[in-house]
Chain A
């Protein structure tokens, strides 16, 4: 690493500085998780080393947190998010493929329905949706949590945009070779759509990971409670227990962090390198 050019070094420095600026508020959460409750807001101003490093350390908040239903709920969140991503990717890629590759009458209508579906504010329809789901006896079940995440109009839209960018010749050549639509999908389009699938998976993961009002309504039982709902119980009518909330937030953000770091290499492994782009 001795022969890094000054311009490269500057680039790295700017990149790192950007990352740190975005991370600073999270770092403050992490640090607060290890502070005694009364120290959390003590060192906000003026800025000093103690603003970003605890002067007194404690693990009490994690003890409180894991004595509650949190461990179970973090599993629930993860299970729901992963199941949604897997199921949702299947459902949404199939739909996006039909909307971008297959030509059929009414395509624009179906596409419009998909667009409208993500314009609908999910929290604002939570009450009627709750009635529907309860009618299907899906309250307090994983299905009740997962189902609303599967048909994600936004993910369909994203994947469609990607499929539209793949050359028509790919499909035409394959069909000349006698492939059916499903084979074209499975053997030609799917293998090329790695990065787009990761982005779409991210959309669905975030949808579930951020979900709060819906899980609170449909699955409040301890057995199915998700992490965001679980830490909200430290915000009671008699005051906010900031310590356990910070500890919970730290756990909640560490999991996607690990997953994202793991998936980062795949973002750059794009179709550009395969030379198949239009």
Chain B
């Protein structure tokens, strides 16, 4: 059967999804690109908005903050998710219930979880009370430019790792038990089994989690908006918060759209690199 003939079959399978994605994502995104090329009060296309945001130290610093955040948060969350998935990949009594508890934070509105963490991270809050039990002195948390971003990482991780764990867990359970038996016969210890069996077998779900987690961390917004409003001293001014601020607080939609386009291009570049890293010869 020729590849060209397949195209009609493939299109039939793809039509509903393509239609939805193109009309409800790509098309509005192109409208944003259009708006981003119109300077305030201008009627002809120009790159003025882009020049403006790239010349703006606040936008620049939000891009650097976002990149720094990504570099820390993604490996951290993936490592924790994988660790949790391995820990919870068992048939012990009650495991299903505990898995649900780990996953649950993702199900409550981000606006509410932020309220809880705002209370927990208050200088007189639960977190410091907890540290006190271990003899540690009170920390400034969200009031400190040095610690606030770490707090955002903590909160987004609490929300997200259960979610990624669930997907990795499904991947772990797809690994045939026979591979581990063979590895044991070869005399591999637990760690060697993890490196030689688990990781290669998890490549596809891991690719998914890596890409999806990276994207979702680029788009973190609600915790920043509610917990820090980008502060103290812009230390948590992630790019989505910057975009929202420009669009709805500063009332400067055209530069907000330009920033959105920059963000999408940035993510696209990083995701392309990730695909290249994670691919093997067998996959196109």
Contact = CB atoms under 8 A, between A and B. Distances in A.
B158 interface: yes
A44 B243 CA distance: 34
Interface residues of B, number: 104
Given A102-B9, A158-B167, 7 more contacts: A22-B105, A25-B158, A110-B10, A125-B29, A127-B253, A132-B27, A231-B109
A46 B129 contact: yes
A15 B98 contact: yes
12 contacts: A16-B94, A18-B102, A94-B16, A95-B14, A102-B13, A164-B283, A185-B13, A199-B170, A232-B111, A252-B109, A264-B97, A267-B170
Interface in B217-260: 219, 221-222, 240, 243-244, 247, 253, 256-257, 260
Contacts of A249: 108-109, 112
A185 B14 CA distance: 13
Contacts of A25: 105, 113, 116-117, 120, 158
B81 interface: no
B193 to A, nearest CB: 16
A72 to B, nearest CB: 17
Task: Report, as a range, how many residues of chain A touch the other chain.
Answer: 35 or more
Contacts of B100: 257, 260-261, 264
B122 A44 contact: yes
A254 B107 CA distance: 9
Interface string A154-186: 101110011011000000000000000100010
Contact of A121 (B27, B112, B205, B260): B260
Contacts of A223: none
Interface string B85-109: 0011011111111111111111111
Nearest to A120: B29
A147 interface: yes
Contacts, number: 306
Interface in A110-164: 110, 113-125, 127-129, 131-132, 147-148, 150-151, 153-154, 156-158, 161-162, 164
Contact of B3 (A15, A103, A165, A209): A103
B219 A121 contact: yes
Nearest to B13: A98
A116 B268 contact: yes
Interface stretch (B53-61, B68-76, B142-150, B172-180): B172-180
B284 interface: yes
A86 interface: no
A117 B68 CA distance: 24
- Which 9 pairs from chain A and chain B are nearest by CB? A151-B20, A19-B98, A264-B96, A95-B17, A98-B13, A128-B31, A256-B107, A128-B28, A19-B101
A221 interface: no
A253 B100 CA distance: 11
A22 B99 CA distance: 10
Given A12-B94, A116-B26, A199-B170, A123 B158 contact: no
Contacts of A102: 6, 9-10, 13
Interface of B: 3-4, 6-7, 9-11, 13-14, 16-29, 31-32, 35, 84, 87-88, 90-113, 115-117, 119-120, 122, 124-126, 128-130, 132-133, 158, 162-163, 166-167, 169-170, 173-177, 204-205, 207-208, 211-212, 215, 219, 221-222, 240, 243-244, 247, 253, 256-257, 260, 263-264, 267-268, 271, 283-284
A104 interface: yes
Nearest to B243: A124
A161 B14 CA distance: 16
Given A44-B126, A113-B26, A272-B174, A150 B107 contact: no
Interface string A43-61: 0111100010000000000
A12 B93 contact: yes
Interface string A216-242: 000000000000100110010000101
Nearest to A228: B109
A265 interface: yes
A270 interface: yes
Most A C-beta atoms less than 10 A away, residue of B3, B10, B35, B240: B10
